[in-house]
A = this chain, B = another copy of it.
Amino acid sequence: MRATMIYGAGDVRLENVPDAHIKESTDAVIRITHASICGSDLWPYRGYGEYPDNGRPMGHEAIGVVEAIGTDVHHIKVGDVVAMPFAFSDGTCVHCLEGVHTSCVHGGFFGNPEVGGAQAEALRIPQADGTLVPLPGGRDKALMPSLLTLTDVMATGHHAAVTARVSPGKIVAVVGDGAVGLCGVIAARRLGAEEIIIMGRHPGRIALAKEFGATNVVSERDDAAIEHVRELTGGYGAHAVLECVGTDSSMQTALHIARPGGAIGRVGAPHGVNIPAADPTFYSNLTISGGPAPVRAYIESLIPDVMEGKIQPGRVFDRVISLNDIADGYRAMDQREAIKVMIEF
């Protein structure tokens, strides 16, 4: 089968690899129908991370059709259309029961030599019963992009909003106008935010953020951005800040636009981030929360909103490619030609 591999910065290749197959009795194999490129895939594309000699399989967001199941898989059956969260999890351990599926004791992440990646024709799914989510309306083509976002980006935006404690009446700031930030806007609105400030400067993304519910735009950077958010919030800052980037600059901005007692929900994998221990974090009673989104904890509550058309996070996909064009998909996202790329099989 064909699978996407990365060998170094900018070096994405579509290669022939052995077919995905059942290894453990709790596995399933899915035939991928829709996958996508994640903002986090750009970190290795830009030279951050490790590159195994035989390449690193890429991709962790997908919808597919179950092709085979192990003998201990009981809740998923061959032929099911399923969503695959970016982490696999058993659904039964203490951490899963507490809603932290990304820390499952039998869990792990897709997109590495051990488990394989989803930018491929097929994929082995460990802990299939716990991991996979059947999609009842999963053959409605129009819904596919939005359902696909629930495997990562929309659930991640939701996690940012939840961990930043967005609730009705709150003033929310979203740092980052990438696909996660845009989904953060959707999530903040869905949770009842009164004002949503999107921080970014790409015209097309900002326009989409407004359609998703952003009420204000801050296009400055760093100190000027902090000043502008303060102006928009009566000098007090935002109650909830969704940090959807993961750089030190974005984190410092997030910390300084939060009002005393406010919360920062961070979902951008941190790269070179420094969290000051005293000021403003401690002395302003800030709460810093977030991490890899426990997609599996959220997805069942988000599916109905997609099915009913209440949210349309699939609009973050502004380019659709075939697997053949995967390398160009990475290039387009890296150069910000595309917000987010979907791969149709």
Contacts and interface: CB of A to CB of B under 8 A. Distances in A.
Interface of A: 94-95, 98-100, 102-103, 163, 234, 236, 251, 259-261, 263, 266, 269-270, 273-278, 281-292, 294
A289 B260 CA distance: 12
Nearest to A273: B277
B291 A284 contact: yes
A290 B282 CA distance: 6
Given A163-B287, A292-B285, A94 B261 contact: no
Contact of A94 (B95, B103, B234, B277): B234
A93 to B, nearest CB: 9
Given A269-B282, A286-B291, A292-B285, A103 B260 contact: yes
A291 B287 CA distance: 9
Given A100-B261, A103-B260, A285 B290 contact: yes
7 contacts: A95-B261, A100-B261, A103-B260, A281-B291, A283-B291, A285-B290, A285-B294
Contacts of A291: 281-286
A260 B293 CA distance: 12
Contacts of A273: 277-278
